[in-house]
Chains A and B, each alone.
Chain A
């Protein structure tokens, strides 16, 4: 039995604690926004937040997330409002096929939470583990910068 706190809800699940968190999220909880891209922690499509840190859920045993606060792309909206980075991805059209988008947004959200004003070089370094095969990278950098700028404007009000 593994107890997981996902997007503000607690789930008691009869699953092997060694099973990857991604598989539990997708197949047991039907939270399919987190994607399987490689199963080896190489592409970032499965990125979720565990206690605010971006992790590769495809290689994280579900049991090790026990008692921690897990946020997936489905839990990023707050009171019906998109997260500023979700808004920024739409505004910059920072996607094509969008299969990487959830993972990009989760990695970017974790980055912004720690560094509200990242430079382009800092974004590239922090996001290096996320692959976009459509190679929309420059737009993703722009979206993160846009969300950062909007975040600063909000905090200065």
Chain B
């Protein structure tokens, strides 16, 4: 088997490739005839994305047996009236299943219960790069609205024709069309057993936010009951007849390679299948315990190579810049002139550690081979990417691999690539039976990928009145998201430098925007102090962007910024920014004293991401991101030495728990005049700088590295 592990080059550029360019590595075609047979009668509406007119023509020339390649979404109305929507997006807790249902319900005048949403099944849904980058709301919601609106218009056409009625007088409501004069028909009967396929263009008109009925309301999670009863089957809960459990041999350290392996003892155990294929060694047996016993008797010799340790990490990143891999500089004016014009200059370095997503559902997959076709159920944010990995790993034709994604136990950017899929598939192939592989928590910590660590250097200058005159910003390794400053600075130079990474890294909620906002917003606080200005006043002085100003002012007002403090070592901090279409500002109140622990008392965030699709679920995302952000801000860090993860357990890698929760408040600004943006990521970025700034305010200790306070504060400033 070809190892699905990525090359160093891919790993380095993983976040950029997957979130900026989002170009598909593969394009899979679905056979239209096969698909229509599967659907039966009724109406199928297919949305063609605008930039793909060429490929559409091309597929037409091939005789129409194929679907056009770049399809956004499709929707089917069956003869029984069932409305089924097909999307490549997946549900990982962000409640996309619910928000997408709201969009469809709005356009078709249907209650949520009448809509079936098929998500992330690669045989049934159009290609989608993945669920990341806060793209479901800005991209998939309008696409589903378009197919739904087109379906509604088609049904109106059919009804008007059937009844020889005035089309304008027809009303669509509750899954029925009526003319107010005694004619009424449900969607299914209007199709009259026909098979209608209509391809629609991306410019189909959709309902503006001001006229939404179902969207814009706090519809509860559509399948919520299945979670509170334990009935929902995550990939890790699946069970197939005759299914075996698989375990995979792991290296003792990152970078270690297999020198030799003896699997004979394991192979001699009854009911055990052993696979040794290239770098892959795994076992399958009837139970997890039996698989563990078999793996325990596999004897392996490993060749290790020297690996950097966390104590030297930031030096390492600075010394291992990959030549020619800097981003094009965002530059304007002249740093030299800006610094020459400054009354105060400041140079500081900021750092962020590698952190783990450690989603509560570990990586899991169930694989089954039937007549040479591979079917894998797994929890991933990128079903088509996992499919592509399987196609490549097994050298299969694209139509011989199907990936299905049950609603998944979270990802936070950590489940783009899921190696458990290929592991289960390889073992299932050898065993001739379905195999389930569920990673242990330790495997998840050690063999998943991390949020990138980074070093950020800022050199700046301000005039006495607080005007920022120069801003030079260099980010080493952590990424380019959110790297540009929102402040109005005449002279700036901003660069991202790719480096080697000792820990495998990838996407994460907000990704580099957290590091870049942390460095920028702490530095802005330092400059405010240099200027002798209130940090809020200093920001507004250097800021024209009205949307950013609005969230800063909303957060400050709710928080009571500028009001007297209760005393007793209390400090206030503020920070904010813009990323992925959303604006956020966060205020923090802490109690902190030199040598002691830090208590976050209160976090208040204002968030604005255009027209709000589901207020309660948006609040849930915003407040969840704030609470999760406390971990990366305060104490989360992957510790490592000699290629070993030193804290691969919840007992040694601390994540936020109940007692870490401050009072959390959020203000949501609803801009119905603006398109909706995603909200899963950006609300996390203000937490760390706001808390750092509040700690300085409380006790004069300036913290420039994340995590800020893994244990206690230094004894003095």
Q: Do chains A and B interact in one complex?
A: yes
Q: Is the pair A40, B651 in contact by a Cβ cutoff of 8 Å?
A: yes
CB distance from A63 to the nearest CB of B (A): 14
Query: Of residues 45 to 91 in A, which have CB atoms within 8 Å of B's CB atoms?
Result: 45, 72-74, 76-77, 82, 86, 89-90
List the A side residues contacting B220 at CB < 8 Å. 90, 93
Q: Report 29 cross-chain contacts, Cβ distance below 8 Å, ordered by A residue.
A: A16-B289, A32-B239, A33-B230, A36-B362, A38-B650, A73-B230, A86-B228, A86-B229, A93-B620, A95-B221, A95-B227, A95-B228, A96-B620, A96-B621, A97-B361, A97-B409, A99-B359, A99-B409, A99-B410, A125-B658, A127-B658, A132-B360, A133-B358, A133-B359, A134-B410, A135-B631, A137-B658, A137-B661, A139-B620
* Contact indicator B221/A138 (Cβ below 8 Å): no
The answer to the question of A98 belonging to the interface, with a C-beta cut-off of 8 Å to chain B, is: yes
Q: A74-B229, A96-B94, A137-B658 are in contact. Are A38 and B649 (CB under 8 A)?
A: yes
B225 contacts A90, C-beta separation under 8 Å: yes
A-B residue pairs, 10 tightest by C-beta: A33-B230, A97-B93, A99-B409, A135-B627, A73-B230, A96-B93, A98-B227, A32-B237, A97-B410, A42-B650
CA–CA, A97 to B220, complex, Å? 13
Is A136 in contact with B624, judged by CB distance below 8 angstroms?
Answer: yes
Q: Is B360 in contact with A43, judged by CB distance below 8 angstroms?
A: yes
Q: Is B311 an interface residue (CB 8 A)?
A: no
Q: Which size bracket describes the interface of A in this complex?
A: 35 or more
CB interface residues, B 620-667, toward A, < 8 Å? 620-621, 623-625, 627-628, 630-631, 649-651, 655-659, 661, 664
How many residues belonging to B are interface residues under a CB distance threshold of 8 Å?
A: 57
Contact with A along B211-230 (1 / 0, CB 8 A): 00000000011001101111
- A141 in contact (CB, < 8 A): yes
Instruction: Enumerate chain A interface residues (CB-CB to B < 8 A).
Output: 16, 19, 23, 26-27, 30-40, 42-43, 45, 72-74, 76-77, 82, 86, 89-90, 93, 95-102, 105, 123-125, 127-128, 130-141
Interchain CA distance A30-B238 in the complex, whole Å: 9
CB distance from A34 to the nearest CB of B (A): 7
Task: Tell which of B95, B228, B236 touches A36, judged by Cβ atoms closer than 8 Å.
Answer: B236
A contacts with B: majority SS:
loop
Which residues from chain A contact B408 at a C-beta distance below 8 Å? Answer: 97
Indicate whether A74 sits within 8 Å of B230 (C-beta atoms), given known contacts A27-B287, A39-B440, A135-B628. yes
B360 with A133: CB separation less than 8 A: yes
B92 CB within 8 Å of chain A: yes
> Does residue B438 face the partner (Cβ distance < 8 Å to A)?
yes
With CB as the reference atom, state the residue of chain A lying closest to B630.
A135
| In the complex, chain A residues whose CB is within 8 Å of the CB of B441 | 37-40, 42-43
Chain B residue numbers with a CB within 8 Å of A37 are 360-362, 441
Is B233 interfacial (CB-CB < 8 Å)? yes
Task: Report chain A residues within 8 Å CB of B659.
Answer: 124-125, 128
Q: Which residues of chain B have C-beta atoms less than 8 A from A136's C-beta? A: 620, 624, 627
CB–CB B624/A134 < 8 A: yes
Contact between chains at B228 and A105 (CB < 8 Å): yes
Question: Could you say which residues of chain B place their CB within 8 Å of the CB of A100?
Answer: 360
Binding site secondary structure of chain B: loop
Shortest Cβ gap from A62 to chain B (Å): 12
Of B229, B358, B623, which is within 8 A of A82 by CB? B229
Contact call B224/A133, Cβ cutoff below 8 A? no
Residue of B nearest to A123 (CB): B658
Tell me whether B617 and A40 are in contact (CB under 8 A).
no
* Contact present for B359 and A97 (CB under 8 Å): yes
Asked, given contacts A38-B650, A137-B656, whether A32 binds B233 with beta carbons under 8 Å apart, the answer is yes
Contact digits for B377-420, partner A, Cβ 8 Å, 1 yes 0 no: 00000000000000000000000000000011110100000000
Q: A139 CA to B228 CA in the complex, in Å?
A: 14
A97–B227 CA distance with the chains assembled, in angstroms: 9
Q: Report chain B residues within 8 Å CB of A30.
A: 239
- B residues less than 8 Å from A31 (CB atoms): 230
Instruction: Check if A101 sits within 8 Å of B228, measured CB to CB.
Output: yes
Q: Give B570-626 interface residues, CB cut-off 8 Å to A.
A: 616-617, 620-621, 623-625
B509 to chain A, nearest CB (A): 10
Most buried by A among B92, B408, B410: B410
From 471 to 518 in chain B, residues with beta carbon under 8 angstroms from any chain A beta carbon are none
B288 contacts chain A at the CB level, 8 A cutoff: yes
For residue B232, CB closer than 8 A to chain A, the reply is: yes
Query: Which residues on A sit within 8 Å (CB–CB) of B239?
Result: 30, 32
Whether A131 contacts B657 in the complex (CB less than 8 A), given A36-B236, A96-B624, comes out as yes
- When C-beta atoms are compared, the residue in chain A nearest to B226 turns out to be A98
